[in-house]
Structure 1
Amino acid sequence: MTKHITLFEPPPQDKSRAQIENVLDLTPVVDLGPDVFTNTRPLWHPPGARGIYGGAAIAQSLSAAMRTVPADFAVHSMHCYFVLAGDSELPILYHVERVRDGRSFITRTVQARQRGRPIFTTTLSFSRVGSGGEKTLNHATPMPDVSLPADAVPGTVKALSDAGGGPFESKKAGIINRNQNPEDKRVRRFVRARSRISDEGGFQAHLSALAYITDSFFIGTVSRVHDIPRFSSPADLQKLLKALKNPSDLDDEDITKAFKELKEEEAADLRRQLEGALSNANKEDHKELGMMVSLDHSIYFHNPLAFRADEWMFVETESPWAGEGRGLAIQKLWSQNGTLIATCTQEGVVRLKQDKPPLSKI
């Protein structure tokens, strides 16, 4: 059976829009119904992942749902389940169901399907902008006292529209409470969409970009707070690089840079792990990651109109619990001016390599 990466021939990249807008572009499939869409361009399969990058399914489902609601409604919550690994060599069909249309709230569900089977499902709730009234209760966790990257100040670097590479970029901001218990550690980063998001995309384009970015570095927090690297050796990295499929939103230079950063980031953790294993005669203490797969993902959009996804956003991630072969991660995102814009949760399978065969398989 011949595989088709996209349902229709992809058009040329629209250079008036940011790269992340092109990556997340959807095409209506009118022959199947008014609320069915498909990915316009090929989707990325990250090295070592079981399927496509989950952020693409999250963001494109959000984008599809937003096409069915009035412009004065903005998403405030999104609850997702990863059902099956998405195949980057097949098109995805996004089916939107109009569950409810109210005066203040609208509900949608979206199923992402391949080969007729759901691989991803989400329920979204939208609220009318300003429907809370003039008097409201207000509080928010303040952004930690951190220094923004140097290029957050206008004029310090070349314009974002001139930048190259993947659809978004990140910069490490350290790990807080590194020497404390795993549940007390906080992993910090700065993230932003690369190049300027177009005015034509509106706030919806920024929300889709934010949704895409939230799946990056997320469930991996569980292993990070335990000082367990994702890749245990350079050979593992090379093996996964050779298996790379459809790097449609990454170029060779960006892939090299990403793995160089990963190598540097995990080098200290791996060194401590190996030193500990060599100095400890009890080899049962050695822990090596066997499987890491996202199960569900929720996003609460607090201020959907109060940020730009192409400006640096500060992310702080923690893991309050892990057990039974699963782990939970929570992340908060602040805008460049310190506004809390979203809170996300994600649970996933996080299994260690076992000396004995596991009782069950996914």
Structure 2
Amino acid sequence: MSEEPGALEDLLDLLDLERIERDIFRGVSRSAVVPRVFGGQVAAQALVAAGRTVPEDRGAHSLHAYFLRPGDPGAPIVYNVDRIRDGRSFTTRRVVAVQHGQPIFHLSASFQLAEEGLEHQARMPDAPDPETLPTAAEMLPRYADRFVDPSVVDRLLVARGAVDLRYVDAPPYGSVGAPREPRSQVWFRTAGKLSDDPLLHVCLATYVSDMTLLDSILLAHGRGGWAVGDVVGASLDHAMWFHRPFRADEWLLYDQESPSSSGGRGLGQARIYTRDGALAISVIQEGLIRTPRD
């Protein structure tokens, strides 16, 4: 499944936070393709911290987060958990990630005791089978000459080695100068099997959810992104709702679109489906989208 067999183990180690006090955890960062901590990493680690203070019979059903400052990949991150509420059915936690004495990230997460209820969902859109699509190792080298720095290819392959992520159509850096419908689809799964811990699967989906959600904004304008040098961007806020059980080590379809961009910001929204068509997750993210100034 992966050309980097140790990459998933490294990512799992990254999510295995050190417990300093009852509600204080410490995490480290991995190599990034940009000189700041990857937002999906901070979100996933914060959710791990929150989940470790919640009874095991309650699963995460939503999170809402703000990225406040760029994270320093060379320094540890301290996660302070606030036990907001422990109710009969729901548990709420607030997590603040701190570096160098300043908050860099804020997360609110809610967990629910499993129960039955009304059921309906949106239909899964059409998409080709993931096995028919090129892997990252097959696709990325095709676009090396379009990147500001060709070494980005190797750095992306290392940074994403724990995840098998496959684009249905060309990514933004493959569509520079050719605006198209603001929609993007990718299939993803972890590059190896995971334990059955539901929190782990939710946290890994959170990690991956920040990788491509802003792509649809770039596609609408024929922009290639930071690797091409025609856009400066960063995640501003992120929200997820976990509807149904899923496994992050099995194929998930990430169907993404952008309804709007204005004021130096763009909005991405998405649904994540299991291969058999169950709607597992809804995601919304706003990002900073600026064009470089002369």
- TM-score category of the 2 structures, normalised to the smaller one: 0.7 to 0.9
How far apart are 1:129 and its partner, in Å? 0.9
Structure 1 or 2: larger strand share?
2
Which SS does the other structure have where 2:211 is aligned? coil
| Cα distance between partner residues in 2 of 1:71 and 1:232 | 41
How far apart are 1:354 and its partner, in Å? 3.2
2:11 matches 1:20: yes
| Cα distance between partner residues in 2 of 1:294 and 1:120 | 11
1:37 is aligned to 25
Go from structure 1 to structure 2 and tell me whether the alpha carbon gap of 1:310 and 1:19 turns closer, same or farther (over 3 Å shift). farther
For residues 1-362 of structure 1, what are the structure 2 equivalents within 5 Å?
A: 18-30=9-21, 34-39=22-27, 41-47=28-34, 51-130=36-115, 133=116, 136-150=117-131, 166-174=161-169, 184-199=181-196, 202-231=197-226, 288-289=230-231, 291-303=232-244, 306-355=245-294
Runs of 5+ unmatched residues, structure 1: 1-14, 153-163, 237-287, 356-362
How far apart are 1:18 and its partner, in Å? 4.5
| Cα distance between partner residues in 1 of 2:13 and 2:243 | 26
1:148 partner letter: D
Residues 22-45 of structure 1 show CA distances to partners (whole Å, capped at 9, x for unaligned) of 232211013xxx110111x43333
Go from structure 1 to structure 2 and tell me whether the alpha carbon gap of 1:312 and 1:232 turns closer, same or farther (over 3 Å shift). closer
Contact kept in structure 1, 2:179 and 2:219, CA below 8 Å: no
How far apart are 1:141 and its partner, in Å? 1.0
How far apart are 1:138 and its partner, in Å? 1.5
Go from structure 1 to structure 2 and tell me whether the alpha carbon gap of 1:70 and 1:150 turns closer, same or farther (over 3 Å shift). same
| Cα distance between partner residues in 2 of 1:42 and 1:326 | 27
| Cα distance between partner residues in 1 of 2:122 and 2:226 | 34
Taking only the aligned residue pairs, the percentage that are identical comes to 34
Residues 49-85 of structure 1 show CA distances to partners (whole Å, capped at 9, x for unaligned) of x511000110011011110111110111100000000
How far apart are 1:203 and its partner, in Å? 0.9
| Cα distance between partner residues in 2 of 1:151 and 1:181 | 25
| Cα distance between partner residues in 2 of 1:88 and 1:314 | 30
Go from structure 1 to structure 2 and tell me whether the alpha carbon gap of 1:67 and 1:232 turns closer, same or farther (over 3 Å shift). closer
How far apart are 1:19 and its partner, in Å? 4.5
Which SS does the other structure have where 1:42 is aligned? coil
Contact kept in structure 2, 1:21 and 1:197, CA below 8 Å: no
2:189 partner letter: R
Contact kept in structure 2, 1:18 and 1:197, CA below 8 Å: no
Contact kept in structure 1, 2:182 and 2:219, CA below 8 Å: no
- Under a length normalisation based on structure 2, what TM-score does the superposition of the two structures give? 0.81
Contact kept in structure 2, 1:325 and 1:350, CA below 8 Å: yes
Which SS does the other structure have where 1:225 is aligned? helix
Contact kept in structure 2, 1:20 and 1:193, CA below 8 Å: no
Contact kept in structure 2, 1:61 and 1:112, CA below 8 Å: yes
Which SS does the other structure have where 2:290 is aligned? strand
- Under a length normalisation based on structure 1, what TM-score does the superposition of the two structures give? 0.66
Aligned residues: 258
